[in-house]
Structure 1
């Protein structure tokens, strides 16, 4: 069960990220996002350390009842997922629309940024070699 401090800290993500994720600013964006999400005590959802509860719980009469912990997890994660999407440029968010959890989006944004960085390094190396010739 969530404590009063947890529920107060997890209400809304009231902060606007003034640095929207684009193809060139992942390290800066990541720094802002982590500090805000940790401040709201939601980092476990995004980093995968707060595991999703079972959807149903068994009752004494063998029926399955909705698990309030699952519903809470889903609500917090969905709120965080939407907030993360809103902290990106349209171009970046469009590439990550398929993500269903905040952890999936976080991991794929990092991979996308890494792929862009590697291609940029390759491009700059080829430019450097062509200048030297």
Structure 2
């Protein structure tokens, strides 16, 4: 009895909407496996039942082929062509040397077993070493979801309880209170519930951080020293804070262009009160200046020494 044509009355070529590539093996297999079961194609693809090519030794010698085998080969050729039509061009090179549908099926599964095993190992490694770091709770949980969904797509899902433990272990010390609260629950929580707890704690941490910054700024402002203000002494003269640019005992040019030092601040050019003292406290009474020819000071502290001019009054030769 001849095998029924599996394609007769069935347009199975339109029942698979995906082209197999490196990213959609699970989805592709789900669709194509449904067609295989629905059209009773297991005996060709997943569990091949191949009739004997020759029924007797005499048939082998005579070259008489079993009609059932001939019918099986004809149907298998159609099925193999159909499977190949659902595979993207990038993967066809991997099965180009295979003839029968079960050979194509096995080679595709062998390739993706190696590929998905490697990918699952990488995803699980990333999940184990994942940490929240500087990411927000929303970004952190989103990354956990992406990794978990990728593991599901390659057929290696992580149990929910293990996933929650991985999430809690990836949190910094600031989240210890919420970690303790979730860990103490007697019933399992979903990833959405964990996200809700973490978001509430994140909001509180941000609020406390802003308050700490405000308090620190207030303390710094209160501790900032005020600038010294000028005051008047008992004689009505205004005293200014010492100028750090001029060390004690040094001479400098004053605002009116004259040279001054400590003696100028203490009492004018020649000292305040009593005798007129000169530079360094020397007593110059009876001394005549070599520049202006006035008495009671010498040339080292003479005003005209620095102005470059001579007095206009009567000149007295030395």
State the TM-score, normalizing by the size of structure 1: 0.77
Task: Give 5+ residue unaligned stretches, structure 2.
Answer: 134-318
Residue 115 (1) aligns with residue 118 (2): no
Task: Decide whether aligned partners of structure 1 residues 126 and 39 sit closer, same or farther in structure 2, where only a CA change above 3 A counts.
Answer: closer
Task: Decide whether aligned partners of structure 1 residues 118 and 9 sit closer, same or farther in structure 2, where only a CA change above 3 A counts.
Answer: closer
Cα-Cα RMSD: 2.7
Corresponding residue for residue 105 of structure 2? 106
Query: Which secondary structure state, in structure 2, belongs to the residue aligned with residue 96 of structure 1?
Result: coil
Task: Tell me how far apart the structure 2 counterparts of residues 114 and 40 of structure 1 sit (CA, whole Å).
Answer: 26
Asked whether the equivalents of residues 5 and 75 of structure 2 are also in contact (C-alpha less than 8 Å), the reply is no
Task: Tell me how far apart the structure 2 counterparts of residues 8 and 72 of structure 1 sit (CA, whole Å).
Answer: 9
Deviation at 1:71, TM superposition (A): 0.8
Task: Decide whether aligned partners of structure 1 residues 56 and 24 sit closer, same or farther in structure 2, where only a CA change above 3 A counts.
Answer: same
Asked whether the equivalents of residues 81 and 102 of structure 1 are also in contact (C-alpha less than 8 Å), the reply is yes
Deviation at 1:49, TM superposition (A): 3.9
Task: Decide whether aligned partners of structure 1 residues 111 and 34 sit closer, same or farther in structure 2, where only a CA change above 3 A counts.
Answer: same
Identify the structure with the greater helix proportion. 1
Q: Residues 1-133 of structure 1 correspond to what in structure 2 (within 5 A)?
A: 1-2=1-2, 7=4, 9-11=6-8, 14-15=11-12, 16=14, 17-50=16-49, 52-58=50-56, 63-125=62-124
Deviations 1:60-116 (A, max 9, x none): 9x7341211111111111111111011111111221112221111111111111111
State the TM-score, normalizing by the size of structure 2: 0.36
Q: Which has the greater radius of gyration? A: 2
Query: Which secondary structure state, in structure 1, belongs to the residue aligned with residue 40 of structure 2?
Result: coil
Query: Which secondary structure state, in structure 1, belongs to the residue aligned with residue 45 of structure 2?
Result: helix
Deviation at 1:131, TM superposition (A): 6.5
- Runs of 4 or more, structure 1, over 4 Å off, are 125-133
Corresponding residue for residue 188 of structure 2? none
Deviation at 1:38, TM superposition (A): 2.1
